[in-house]
């Protein structure tokens, strides 16, 4: 196959996978395989630059930053539609009555057929395809002239660069670019973790992304698109109805929202409005209403326009999801992992269908960036299941110290005359509001945390579940529901309390039979004998995973040495850097944590201490093992622990660097590869002999 043919085949295949992944939400191949195809196409286009075309998947990102956006005059104006703010069924009836009146229909005439769809909260875009290839994308602008945002629109993977089996001379597709709620939350969470500015809301995120002069920055924003209509059309057979137009666009590979319907008369519109209102909170994107359109294109033409708005369409709004209220206090919430979140306590306000009294400020940096203070008038937003949040402060209403304030309406005081705000900026306290342990916030992180992990009541459930986990203390049967009961009934406050439990206290718990209680108590008793690495991991020290816990145990040999080590000594441990070392040192510097550890030791939790030199003298120190098949007596975890306790490493696959393969029943392909490479193969008996030596 020649280069041109291979390039064409790769483009078709990549676009097919793109459509399946981004539009149908049904991935057809693993990411690694897609990346391999993409890299092959890139290499071919680099070798044969004459084969590069605008519809290639490689051209989605890579344009140079623009000095400004060029104006684009729309061949067919992008006009707005009338908004119906009556959020009751009467809003739909009023629209139907106007349409029937304009068409001269009487009570005895048949119901008008409508296309009903969603009103997306994003940015309207016109996509111009010529002979099936996307050549230009423009914003609505003033309706007559918009801005050329083609480079940025190419970064939206849901928008096809070439239509599927559809290549008329001109086909302009109109729709909405938006950001889904999950994508918005993920993006903001990532920005907060990096200490960067967050997006205000999904709509601003979408609009701001498309109007980025640098397409590389636009590409970082996760955007989506749905089509809802047409602009200029040449050489494309128009269907008879609006709903059929959307069906035809979907066949061309253009994303069209599934939440749409053909409705008969006002009653059909009311049913659609109510159905979508019930679903609104669980939709993955924001909508601020629904849109009704006369379905017949012939009737649309007959109805025409009035003052640049079509008589045949209307947007029927839902209640607003943003509202004004005042901040009565700023309090701190401590999460299960110790994360400290400032929360604004608000004067009750009805927004998004519920009364809101609290809104998250996310973290100290976000609270200070928005400069939210007690007494401020703020815009609060609630959309779906997303936690209500403060969007911004209405600065001109901030209470001031040295300005005259009317007792009846202090919120009307203006900042225009200057002066000092009545309340200070938000500041994070140095100690946890729940347990008074020290609060830490590493320089490179946005989130502050309580250091009292084993002691802090707010973290009890999370700390206990981690402590009892299979790779930690391995207390079988101690799951979510039981931990919840033990904590909620104030039976267990720290992990040490687990070892004080009696049969009576356990059996009295709801849905807890005596036999089940006995089994759990036996599992707790069994867990008393563990390994130093497991115990360190079970403590839940921030940034300390299984591997680090094992490294600490191997390096220091006993817990007291770990607890006494300063940051410099901790950094001598392999793979322990300054951040991890600081986390460990802070954890053991907290008296509450040390107290719980001593209680655990007093309760009988123990492990054999090992001198660090024992690992160095081990015959398997530094050796790489691969475990495969089922061993007669050892579980894979037990074998792994034995290897790592003596300084060996366990890998997942066989290679030339593998020293030993421990093989049991049904060993499979790993055994075959070991034999082919000449790697030493051990059965369980030989493995035990090697370990004991």
Give the residue numbers annotated as catalytic, written as ranges: 119
Beta-sheet pairing, 322-334 with 377-381: antiparallel
DSSP 8-class letter at 335: -
Question: In Å, what is the CA distance from 294 to each residue of 229, 424, 476?
Answer: 13, 56, 63
Cα–Cα distance, 153 to 684 (Å, whole number): 60
DSSP track, 82-146:
EEE---SHHHHHHHHHHHHHHHT--TTSPPPEEEEEEEESSEEEEEEEETTEEEEEEE-TTSSEE
Cα–Cα distance, 511 to 496 (Å, whole number): 24
Angle between helices 202-210 and 181-193 (to 10 degrees): 80
Cα–Cα distance, 604 to 519 (Å, whole number): 19
Structure tokens at 493: 């406050």
Structure tokens at 316: 């029927």
Cα–Cα distance, 333 to 459 (Å, whole number): 11
DSSP 8-class letter at 161: S
Q: How many CB atoms lie within 10 A of CB 34?
A: 18
Cα–Cα distance, 431 to 437 (Å, whole number): 5
Which residues have CB under 8 Å from 153's CB, separation 6+? 125, 127, 134, 137, 159, 177, 210
Pick from 26, 250, 253: nearest CA to 117 = 250
What is the number of residues in the chain?
A: 693
Long-range CB contact pairs, 509-516, < 8 A, 24+ = 509/482, 509/485, 510/485, 512/482, 512/485, 516/477
Structure tokens at 75: 């061949």
DSSP 8-class letter at 411: G
> Secondary structure of 376-391 in the HEC alphabet?
CEEEEECCCCCCCEEE
Question: In Å, what is the CA distance from 268 to each residue of 65, 93, 275?
Answer: 48, 10, 11
Which residues have CB under 8 Å from 430's CB, separation 6+? 438, 439
Reduced to 3 states, what is the DSSP secondary structure of residue 519? helix
Which residues have CB under 8 Å from 538's CB, separation 6+? 466, 467, 469, 472, 473, 495, 530
Cα–Cα distance, 582 to 599 (Å, whole number): 24
Beta-sheet pairing, 448-450 with 339-351: antiparallel
| Positive/negative CA dihedral, 352, 223, 74, 66 | positive
């Amino acid at each position: 196959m020649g280069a041109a043919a291979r390039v064409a085949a790769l483009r078709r295949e990549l676009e097919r996978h793109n459509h399946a992944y981004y539009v149908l939400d049904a991935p057809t191949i693993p990411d690694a395989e897609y990346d391999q195809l993409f890299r092959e196409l890139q290499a071919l286009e680099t070798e044969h630059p004459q084969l590069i075309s605008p519809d290639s998947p490689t051209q989605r990102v890579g344009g140079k930053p623009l000095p400004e956006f060029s104006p684009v005059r729309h061949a067919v104006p992008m006009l707005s539609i009338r908004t119906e703010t009556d959020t009751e069924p009467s809003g739909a009836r009023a629209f139907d009555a106007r349409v029937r009146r304009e068409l001269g229909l009487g009570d005895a005439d048949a119901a008008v057929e409508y296309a009903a769809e969603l009103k997306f909260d994003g940015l309207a875009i016109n996509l111009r395809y010529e002979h099936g290839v996307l050549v230009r994308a423009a914003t609505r602008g003033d309706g007559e002239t918009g801005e050329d945002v083609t480079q940025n629109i190419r970064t939206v993977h849901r928008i096809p660069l070439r239509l599927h089996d559809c290549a008329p001379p001109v086909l302009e597709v109109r729709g909405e670019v938006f950001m889904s709620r999950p994508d918005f939350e993920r993006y903001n969470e990532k920005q907060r973790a990096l200490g960067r500015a967050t997006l205000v809301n999904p709509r601003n995120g979408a609009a701001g992304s498309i109007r980025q002069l640098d397409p590389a920055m636009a590409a970082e924003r996760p955007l989506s698109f749905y089509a809802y209509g047409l602009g200029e059309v040449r050489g494309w057979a128009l269907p008879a109805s609006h709903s059929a137009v959307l069906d035809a666009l979907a066949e061309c590979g253009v994303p069209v929202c599934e939440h749409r319907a053909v409705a008969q008369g006002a009653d059909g519109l009311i049913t659609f409005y109510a159905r979508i209102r019930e679903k609104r909170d669980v939709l993955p994107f924001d909508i601020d209403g629904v849109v009704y359109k006369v379905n017949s294109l012939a009737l649309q033409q007959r109805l025409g326009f009035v003052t640049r708005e079509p008589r045949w369409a209307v947007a029927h709004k839902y209640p607003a999801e943003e509202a004004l209220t005042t901040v009565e206090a700023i309090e701190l919430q401590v999460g299960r992992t110790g994360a400290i979140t400032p929360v604004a306590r608000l004067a009750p306000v009805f927004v998004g269908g519920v009364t809101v009294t609290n809104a998250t400020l996310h973290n100290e940096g976000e609270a200070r960036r928005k400069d939210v203070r007690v007494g401020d008038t703020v815009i609060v937003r609630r959309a779906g299941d997303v936690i209500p949040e403060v969007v911004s402060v209405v600065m001109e209403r901030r209470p001031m110290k040295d300005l005259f304030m009317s007792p009846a309406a202090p919120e009307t005081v203006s900042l225009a005359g200057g002066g000092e705000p009545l309340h200070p900026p938000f500041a994070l306290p140095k100690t946890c509001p729940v347990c008074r342990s020290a609060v830490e916030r590493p320089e490179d992180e946005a989130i502050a945390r309580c250091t009292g992990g084993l002691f802090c009541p707010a973290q009890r459930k999370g700390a206990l579940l981690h402590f009892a986990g299979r790779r930690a203390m391995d207390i079988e049967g101690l799951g979510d529901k039981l931990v919840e009961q033990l904590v909620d009934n104030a039976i267990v406050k720290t992990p040490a309390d687990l070892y004080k439990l009696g049969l009576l206290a356990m059996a009295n718990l709801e849905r807890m039979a005596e036999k089940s209680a006995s089994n759990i108590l036996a599992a707790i008793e069994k867990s008393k004998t563990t390994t130093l690495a497991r115990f360190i991991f079970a403590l839940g020290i921030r940034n300390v995973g299984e591997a680090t816990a094992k490294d600490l145990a191997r390096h220091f040999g006993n817990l007291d040495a770990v607890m006494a080590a300063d940051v410099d000594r901790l950094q001598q441990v392999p793979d322990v850097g300054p951040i991890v070392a600081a986390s460990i040192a802070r954890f053991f510097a907290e008296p509450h944590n040390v107290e719980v550890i001593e209680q655990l030791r007093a309760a009988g939790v123990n492990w054999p201490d090992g001198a660090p030199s024992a690992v160095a003298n081990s015959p398997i120190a530094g050796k790489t093992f691969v475990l495969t098949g089922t061993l007669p007596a050892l579980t894979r975890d037990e074998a792994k622990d034995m290897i790592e306790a003596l300084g060996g490493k366990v890998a997942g696959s066989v290679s030339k660097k593998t020293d030993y393969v421990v093989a049991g029943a049904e060993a499979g392909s790993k055994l075959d590869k070991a034999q082919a490479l000449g790697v030493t193969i051990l059965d369980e008996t030989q493995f035990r002999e090697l370990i004991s030596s």
